């Protein structure tokens, strides 16, 4: 006799219940049909938390630490794609005079948050929706629900469109002059791009090295007349031919090869192609984003949707690790205050206090003498 393992398939429909989803469960035995039955939400793989943070980078981890210490039930959904993992040597983060690897900084932050009871789950969140007073997130593995939502989803820096440059990322190919300009002092530096930002990067890098030039990789420059004048004034060379190859030794760039056969010696390259803001979830809940795609927030990291916050590089702030961590802390403080005020308004703190009065000593012991 052949025994077939039983499988369960969970099919989400759009009929309303407490969290906005009703599920049908199909039980399949072997290759035969099966039966359909309506299942309550609590029987299905739904993880609930008071606060959910989407993103396990510096902003998300900083917020998680603050919320954990505030005794908030906090769940971090992390896809493992923080930009910090690209950094082999972070030199400008407070408290690490000798520098630290980006992945180690993330590891320490996660361990610190877990110390305060924060839960973590590896997950790629696909959608986010508002359902009454809750936010419902659907990931690849589970469905999640929360009362407050913090989006720390970050950005993706567009790398140069050059074959073979990927191994140099974070070692001799960079995206941020503020992060990495100091480490390339005195080197031959190429700035990849064709916009006003490209021109400003080239001019700013003159403070670090005398040899700076722009490569547009076959594109026509799009910088305006003022930036064009500045580039001429400071005699910044511009190479407009298409780059066909990069040469490197291990992770260290050595030369750029152009379509006309010219080879140019280079020791570092900064890309200014632009960024992709990971704002899909913000749009899903109706939060406002600006023309560049950044999630619009106020001073407390609140978005245009009540109960939804955003922090880090996905907001208009300068994309720096320290700034992202600071924004995460600001968002966490605002979320904690928001939940506290709500507990006073709806008297849920009374239920908590009632349990304390029943089971705990609530009056100080009077000492004699």
The pLDDT tens digits of the residues spanning 35-94 come to: 444 444 444 558 999 999 999 999 999 999 999 999 999 999 999 989 898 888 999 999
Distance CA 137, CA 123 (A): 11
DSSP letter for 92, please. Answer: S
Do both 38 and 51 map to the same domain? no
Which helix (H) or strand (E) segment holds residue 144: the answer is: strand 143-151
> Rounded to a whole number, what is the distance in angstroms from the first to the last CA of the chain?
83
In a domain, 146, yes or no: yes
- The verdict on 181 and 136 lying in the same domain is no
Which range marks the domain in which residue 284 is found? 46-157+275-354
Q: Is residue 364 part of a domain?
A: no
Query: In CATH, what number is assigned to the domain containing residue 110?
Result: 3.50.50.60
Contact in structure between 266 and 188 (CB atoms under 8 Å):
yes
Classify residue 218: in a domain, yes or no. Answer: yes
Residue 365 counted as domain residue: no
* DSSP conformation class of 365: P
**Strand order across the 263-265 sheet:** 243-249, 252-258, 263-265
Q: Establish if 80 belongs to a structural domain.
A: yes
Q: For helices 225-233 and 196-205, what crossing angle results, to 10°? A: 20
Q: How, if at all, do strands 268-271 and 173-174 pair?
A: parallel
Asked which of 235, 252, 271 is the last residue of a domain, the reply is: 271
Q: What is the pLDDT of residues 325-366, one digit of tens each?
A: 999 999 999 999 999 999 999 998 888 889 889 999 889 989
Q: Which of 271, 297, 323 is the last residue of a domain?
A: 271
Q: Is residue 77 part of a domain?
A: yes
Does pLDDT of 7 surpass 80? no
Residue 335 included in any domain: yes
């Amino acid at each position: 006799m052949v025994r077939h393992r039983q499988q369960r398939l969970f099919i989400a429909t759009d009929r309303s219940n407490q969290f906005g989803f009703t599920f049908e469960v199909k039980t399949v035995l072997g290759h035969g049909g099966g039966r359909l039955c309506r299942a309550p939400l609590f029987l299905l793989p739904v993880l609930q938390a008071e606060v959910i943070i989407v993103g396990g980078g510096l902003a998300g981890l900083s917020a998680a630490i603050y919320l954990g210490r505030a005794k908030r039930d906090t769940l971090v959904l992390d896809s493992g794609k923080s930009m910090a993992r690209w950094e082999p040597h972070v030199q400008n983060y407070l408290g690490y005079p000798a520098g630290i690897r980006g992945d180690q900084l993330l590891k320490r932050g996660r361990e610190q948050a877990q110390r305060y009871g924060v839960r973590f789950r590896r997950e790629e969140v696909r959608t986010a929706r508002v359902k009454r007073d809750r936010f419902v997130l659907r990931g690849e593995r589970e469905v999640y629900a929360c009362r407050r939502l913090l989006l720390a989803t970050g950005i993706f820096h567009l790398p140069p469109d050059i074959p073979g440059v990927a191994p140099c990322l974070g070692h001799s190919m960079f995206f941020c002059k503020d992060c990495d300009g100091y480490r390339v002092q005195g080197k031959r530096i190429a700035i990849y791009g064709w916009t006003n930002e490209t021109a400003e990067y080239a001019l700013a890098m003159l403070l670090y090295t005398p040899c700076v030039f722009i490569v547009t990789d076959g594109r026509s420059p799009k910088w305006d007349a003022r930036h064009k004048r500045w580039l001429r004034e400071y005699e910044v060379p511009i190479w407009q031919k298409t780059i066909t190859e990069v040469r490197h030794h291990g992770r260290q760039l050595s030369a750029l090869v152009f379509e006309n056969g010219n080879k140019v010696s280079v020791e570092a390259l900064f890309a200014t192609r632009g960024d992709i803001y990971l704002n899909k979830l913000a749009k899903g809940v109706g939060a406002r984003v600006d023309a560049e795609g950044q999630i619009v927030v106020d001073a407390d990291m609140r978005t245009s949707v009540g109960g939804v916050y955003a922090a880090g590089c996905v907001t208009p702030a300068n994309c720096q690790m320290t700034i992202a961590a600071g924004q995460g802390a600001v968002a966490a403080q605002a979320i904690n205050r928001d939940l506290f005020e709500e507990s006073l308004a709806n008297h849920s703190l009374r239920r908590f206090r009632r349990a304390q009065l029943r089971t705990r000593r609530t009056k100080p012991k009077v000492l004699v003498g």
